[in-house]
Each structure stands twice: as structure tokens, then as C-alpha cells.
């Protein structure tokens, strides 16, 4: 399961969730779908710099998946984003 989100400062040091003022934040289904959509779509189409995810179960394990121009609140989250609807349809989520 996805755990918390974070980012890097200019020196490449992990800032962690406290920087974003969302300690112990867990992604909901909408956010997970948007992250996977961004990951699969890639950087050029979305203008995202990177998505940083680590899992609570494995400790602070960073998976720095480069996607391309800003950070995670990627603007796909309206009430239900196109990304969420598409992924939900593919995997049959309810």
C-alpha cells in the first residue's frame, strides 16, 4: 500500500511528509490512481517533476519515480478525475 509523500530540496535531501504538512498521510484511491496515471503517462504530458513514494511497511524506502515538471498535487483531482475513472474501469474497482 502507498504510504506517505515527500520531496527533495535543492541539495537532493529528502524532505519527507512534514515539509508538506501532511504527516502520516495515506493516499486515497483517487490519489493512487492519479499517481499511477502520471507514472504511466510520463513527464511531457503532465508537467510533473517527480513523484516520491515510500511504503510504511518497509520503512523509509524511497521510490523516486521520475515523471516530469512539478510535484504530486497534479491537478487531476476534481471530484473524480479522468485518470481515476479510467483506472477504475480497467481494474474493476468499485
| Domain map (residue ranges) of the chain | 4-91
pLDDT in the model for residue 11: 54
CB distance 17 to 25 below 8 Å: yes
pLDDT at 57: 35
In terms of pLDDT, which residue wins out, 38 or 5? 38
Query: Per-residue pLDDT tens for 11-56?
Result: 555 555 454 454 455 667 777 777 777 666 665 555 555 444 433 3
Q: Is 30 helix (H, G, I), strand (E, B) or coil?
A: helix
**Distance (Å, whole) CA 91 – CA 27:** 18
Instruction: Write the pLDDT tens digit of every residue in 53-86.
Output: 433 333 333 444 444 333 344 444 445 556 666 6
Amino acid at each position: 500500500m502507498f504510504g506517505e509523500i515527500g520531496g527533495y530540496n535543492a541539495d537532493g535531501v529528502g524532505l519527507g511528509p512534514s515539509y508538506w504538512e501532511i504527516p502520516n498521510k495515506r493516499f486515497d484511491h483517487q490519489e493512487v490512481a492519479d499517481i499511477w496515471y502520471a507514472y504511466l503517462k510520463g513527464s511531457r504530458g503532465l508537467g510533473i517533476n517527480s513523484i516520491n513514494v515510500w511504503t510504511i511497511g518497509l520503512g523509509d524506502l524511497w521510490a523516486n519515480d521520475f515523471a516530469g515538471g512539478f510535484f504530486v498535487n497534479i491537478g487531476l483531482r476534481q471530484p473524480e478525475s479522468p485518470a481515476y475513472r479510467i483506472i477504475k474501469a480497467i481494474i474493476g474497482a468499485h
